[in-house]
Structure formats: C-alpha cells, structure tokens
Amino acid sequence: MKYFKLIDSPDLKYAPKLKNWYGQFDVRNIRLDKYSKLPEYELFILEPADKLIFTDIILFLFLLVSPMIREVIKMYRDTCYFREFVLLDQKSEKSGVYYLPVLSEFKGVQVVVKSCGENKQVSCIEQYSGKPLIINKNIFWVKDSIKRHTIISLDFAESLLRRNVKGLGIQEVLLYSK
C-alpha cells in the first residue's frame, strides 16, 4: 500500500493563520481519548493578511479541513470525530467553516520519505532497511518524538486530487515499525 504525508504547499503560504489561539484552545486534547474535552464549536480570529486564501487544508498549528475534505473523510469511514471551527478575517469581513478532525494515532511507526534519484530512469531508492508496515486506514496520524504526521493512503490522495483541493501538498512516505 502506498502512503503520503501531508506537507506545506505553495497555497498554504496564504492560508488562514489563527490569532491569539494560545490559552483559548488546548492542542493536547486533539486525541481520540480526549476529544470530548474539545469544544464542539469554536470561533477564531485570523491574523491580518494582504492576500488570504481559504484553502481546503490548513496545517498551521494543527490540521483543519474544509467541509469538502470532511465529506471525503466520512466517505472512507475511518474512525474520526470532528469539531467545528469558524475562522473570521476581520479585515476583509470574510469567514470560513472548517473542521478539526480527530484521527487514529499510531506510535512506534517510522515515517521515511521515499526519495528518488535525479535521473528519471533511476528507480526510487528506499533509504531504510526493515519490514514495511501496512496500516489499514485511509487517513491517520503517526506520532514521533518531534511532531505528528498526517498520513493518507493512495486512494484517499486520488480522491482529493480529483476534487482539485486547494492547499494540498503531499510527499510519498514508507512506514516501518520501530
């Protein structure tokens, strides 16, 4: 099975960024075992920006998705809970509805970026020796000592690409057990 990690895309440079969120929202509760502590609805004011694009994916601070992405997640029927966020840009007087997905999280998984040689005829080189891991989910988190990675399956990535999602950046990864 092929997997991809969500990464910053050029569109995310103009994505909404939350203002004064610290103290208003505890990111440690973004887990399946603590999601009930999260508010069901939250309003956030955005940082002023000259150019603002309400992208379908926001990676700043934590993962937020548009209603369209939420429907794709629900279509795949993976275990996931959502909290609704309204993001308000006071400068332009525009707002957008987003959802905070609370996904299954896996620890003890090594996420290795699949790298290719510069010559297009050279096959991709797997930089890690070990047994590849298969996780039967289409969207999930992998937590390492530094950060949480949002991982999607090839089928899920294709579903997003067919919908012309704004702000989607992906990088192929390999998953190994530690």
115, 127 in Cβ contact below 8 A? yes
pLDDT tens across 149-174, in order? 999 999 999 999 999 999 999 999 99
The C-alpha atoms of residue 117 and residue 123 are separated, in whole angstroms, by 7
The C-alpha atoms of residue 139 and residue 76 are separated, in whole angstroms, by 9
The C-alpha atoms of residue 50 and residue 91 are separated, in whole angstroms, by 9
Of residues 70, 102, 83, the one with CA closest to residue 42: 83
| pLDDT tier, 124 (very low <50, low <70, confident <90, very high otherwise) | very low
Residue type, 5: K
pLDDT tens across 36-70, in order? 999 999 999 998 888 889 999 999 888 999 999 99
Sole residue written with tokens 């707002």? 95
Q: Residue ranges of the domains in the chain?
A: 3-177
pLDDT above 60 for 118: no
Here the tokens at position 54 are 């309400």
The C-alpha atoms of residue 76 and residue 117 are separated, in whole angstroms, by 34
DSSP-derived secondary structure letter, 163: T
User: CA geometry: angle at 48 spanning 45 and 52, to 5°?
Assistant: 95
Residue 55: exposed, middle, or buried by beta-carbon count in 10 A (0-12, 13-18, 19+)? buried
Return the H-helix or E-strand segment holding 73: helix 67-76
